[in-house]
């Protein structure tokens, strides 16, 4: 799978502001950056820092009154779509050290609040079969509704309201997986077919020695996701964090399958 990515961001700023951008697709063994170009209306040279868990990179920019960003990339993805239900459980005591934090609650994923629900609804499932069941449950019990959540909506709120956008689906799926003893993290990504077109958020489970992507919205398969960043929740994977007021002028994300 080869994806063509085109991103345009245009924001008015209240004076000068530092901005942390997280828009570049990550170079990974199963995801090759064929070409990419990032242009930012920064008053100073961009300063890159490594993303969470060494996945991708963040860029610091410094702009005054207006911030404009153009990002284009071609990404080749070679990632098998492994059925989650076929993957065995790894007991918590046997997990690699770097995955243990992803068993714990975080700001938007209050996994400790779902332990009773998991015990009642999925009492005999563990590992991959549980991950597959949770993916189906979230996809079947939530309604995708643009504008139905805000930047402070948590997994518990989404569970109660039963609607949201991709970030809400990811938060709830991650929280449920952690409650069931599966390390899980949130992932920002680009994918074709996302409706409405935008930055996309999905989940990732640690199963049988690897991180496995899963999209509860059903809009993207693992083999057509260009990963940008990973983290505990939306706090770690936001595409733009501005240290000052910002007003949207334009934001477009276009992802298409490229004919090779």
Is 113 exposed, middle or buried (CB count within 10 Å of its CB: 0-12, 13-18, 19+)? middle
pLDDT of residue 258: 84
Q: Which single residue is written with the structure tokens 């690897």? A: 210
pLDDT per residue over 120-131, tens digit each?
A: 999 999 999 999
Asked if domains 2-77+239-257 and 84-236 share a fold, the reply is: no
Distance CA 74, CA 55 (A): 18
The domain locations on the chain are 2-77+239-257, 84-236
137 upstream amide cis, omega within 30 of 0: no
* Whether the Cβ atoms of residue 201 and residue 234 lie closer than 8 Å to each other: yes
Distance CA 212, CA 106 (A): 20
Averaged pLDDT, 245-250: 96
pLDDT of residue 260: 66
Class assignment of domain 84-236? alpha beta
**DSSP character at residue 209:** T
pLDDT of residue 13: 97
pLDDT per residue over 5-51, tens digit each?
A: 999 999 999 999 999 999 999 999 999 999 999 999 999 999 999 99
Predicted model pTM:
0.96
Class assignment of domain 2-77+239-257? mainly beta
* Whether the Cβ atoms of residue 255 and residue 190 lie closer than 8 Å to each other: yes
pLDDT per residue over 176-226, tens digit each?
A: 999 999 999 999 999 998 999 999 999 999 999 999 999 999 999 999 999
- The residues, ordered by sequence, that sit 6+ positions from 30 with a Cβ below 8 Å of its Cβ are 77, 78, 79
- Max intra-chain CA distance, the chain: 57
- Rounded to an integer, what is the distance from CA 234 to the centroid of its chain? 7
- Our CA angle for 240, 243, 247, nearest 5°, is 65
pLDDT per residue over 52-85, tens digit each?
A: 999 999 999 999 999 999 999 999 999 999 999 9
């Amino acid at each position: 799978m080869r994806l063509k990515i085109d991103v345009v961001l245009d924001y008015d700023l209240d004076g000068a502001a530092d901005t942390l951008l997280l828009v570049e697709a990550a170079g990974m063994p199963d995801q090759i950056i064929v070409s990419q170009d990032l242009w930012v209306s920064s008053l100073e040279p961009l300063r890159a820092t490594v993303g969470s868990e060494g996945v991708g990179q963040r860029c610091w920019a410094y702009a005054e009154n207006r911030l404009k960003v153009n990002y284009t990339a071609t990404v080749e993805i070679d990632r098998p779509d492994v059925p989650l239900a076929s993957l065995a459980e790894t007991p918590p005591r046997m997990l690699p050290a770097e995955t243990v934090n992803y068993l714990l609650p975080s700001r938007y994923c209050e996994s400790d609040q779902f332990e009773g629900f998991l015990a009642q609804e999925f009492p005999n499932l563990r590992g991959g079969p549980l991950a597959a069941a949770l993916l189906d449950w979230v996809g079947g019990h939530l309604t995708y509704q643009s504008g139905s959540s805000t930047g402070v909506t948590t997994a518990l709120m989404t569970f109660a309201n039963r609607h949201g956008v991709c970030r809400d689906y990811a938060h709830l799926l991650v929280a449920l997986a952690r409650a069931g003893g599966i390390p899980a993290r949130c992932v920002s990504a680009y994918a074709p077919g996302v409706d409405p077109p935008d930055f996309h958020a999905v989940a990732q489970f640690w199963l049988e020695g690897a991180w496995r992507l899963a999209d509860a919205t059903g809009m993207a398969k693992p083999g057509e996701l260009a990963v940008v960043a990973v983290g505990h929740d939306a706090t770690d994977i936001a595409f733009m964090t501005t240290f000052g007021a910002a007003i949207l002028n334009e934001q477009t994300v276009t992802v298409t399958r490229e004919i090779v």
